[in-house]
Amino acid sequence: MSEDKYEKGIYFSLNHFLMIFFVFILCAFFLKDYYLFKWDVLGSRDFTEILNKGMENKKALSRGLRNNNPLNIRNSFSNKWLGEVKISQKKDSDFEEFINIRYGFRAAYKVLMTYRTEYNIKTIDGIIRKFSPTNENNTEEIIIKLSNMTGIEKHKVISGYDYINLIHKMTIIESGYKFPISLIEESILIK
C-alpha cells in the first residue's frame, strides 16, 4: 500500500512539472517577439539599425523610420527637441531626425499637445488639417482614414488615451510601420 502512494506521488509531481513546463514554453513562445522587440528598440541599439539588418538598400525604409521620426515632423531650427540629432550630423534638411524612435514619438506627442493647448485644436479633423496641409497631402482622405482606424468621430474632441491611439494610427499612415502602443506610452513619458 505504501508503494502505491509513492508511485502516485511521483506521478502527481511529474504531471505538475510537465504542466508548468508546458505553460512556460507557451508563455515564452508568445512573449518572445514582444521582448525581443522591446530589447532592441528600447535598448542601446538604434531602431533603424535593427530594422535594416539584412536589408541591402536602406532607402527601402520610409523617411520617418530612417529619421526615427515616425510622424515626419518638419525640421525647425527654432525647436530644440530632446533627443534630436546634432545639426552637424543631420542628413535630412526637411524633416527632424532623432537619435532613436522613442524621442520621435515624444516629439509627436509634444506637437499634438501644442496644437491642443496653444491653438485649441482638439479633433482629428483639426489636427490633420494643421499637421497634413492640403497643399502637400490628400488631407480629407487622411482624416477619414484616421477616424475609421481609431474609431473616433472626426469632429469629436479627443483627450487622454485618444492621443496615443491617434499617434499609433498616424504612424502607420506616415511611416508604414505598426509599433507597439506600449512603446508610444513609454516614449511620451521621457522627460
| Same domain membership, residue 109 and residue 33 | no
* 56-83 tens-digit pLDDT: 455 568 899 999 999 999 998 788 899 9
Q: Give the structural domain span for 118.
A: 59-187
Give the rounded percent of residues in the chain with a pLDDT score beyond 90: 58
Least confident of 24-38, 115-129, 137-151: 24-38
User: Which one, of 108, 41, 21, 32, lies nearest residue 70 by Cα?
Assistant: 108
| Same domain membership, residue 66 and residue 17 | no
Asked whether 1 and 147 are in contact (CB, 8 A), the reply is no
| Same domain membership, residue 8 and residue 68 | no
User: Which one, of 148, 147, 137, lies nearest residue 174 by Cα?
Assistant: 137
Cell of 57: 538598400
**CA 11, CA 76: separation in Å to the nearest integer?**
69
Beta bridge partner(s), residue 74: 95
| Same domain membership, residue 161 and residue 82 | yes
* 87-140 tens-digit pLDDT: 899 999 999 999 999 999 999 999 999 999 999 999 999 999 999 989 988 999
| Same domain membership, residue 71 and residue 39 | no
What pLDDT was estimated at residue 79?
Answer: 84
Number of domains the chain is built from:
2
**CA 170, CA 108: separation in Å to the nearest integer?**
10
User: Which one, of 133, 155, 180, 151, lies nearest residue 142 by Cα?
Assistant: 133
Distance from the first to the final alpha carbon of the chain: 68
Residue 54 covered by a domain: no
What pLDDT was estimated at residue 191?
Answer: 87
| Same domain membership, residue 86 and residue 123 | yes
Q: Please, what is the Cα angle at 155 between 182 and 163, to 5 degrees?
A: 15
Backbone angles phi, psi at 155, to 5 degrees: -105, 5
Chain centroid offset of residue 4 CA: 57
What pLDDT was estimated at residue 23?
Answer: 73
Q: What is the mean pLDDT of residues 151-178?
A: 95
User: Which one, of 71, 148, 52, lies nearest residue 110 by Cα?
Assistant: 71
Residue 157 covered by a domain: yes
**CA 104, CA 102: separation in Å to the nearest integer?**
5
**CA 186, CA 4: separation in Å to the nearest integer?**
55
| Same domain membership, residue 153 and residue 66 | yes
| Sole residue written with cell 491617434 | 166
Residue 84 covered by a domain: yes
| Same domain membership, residue 68 and residue 37 | no
Mean pLDDT score of the chain: 82
Residue 52 covered by a domain: no
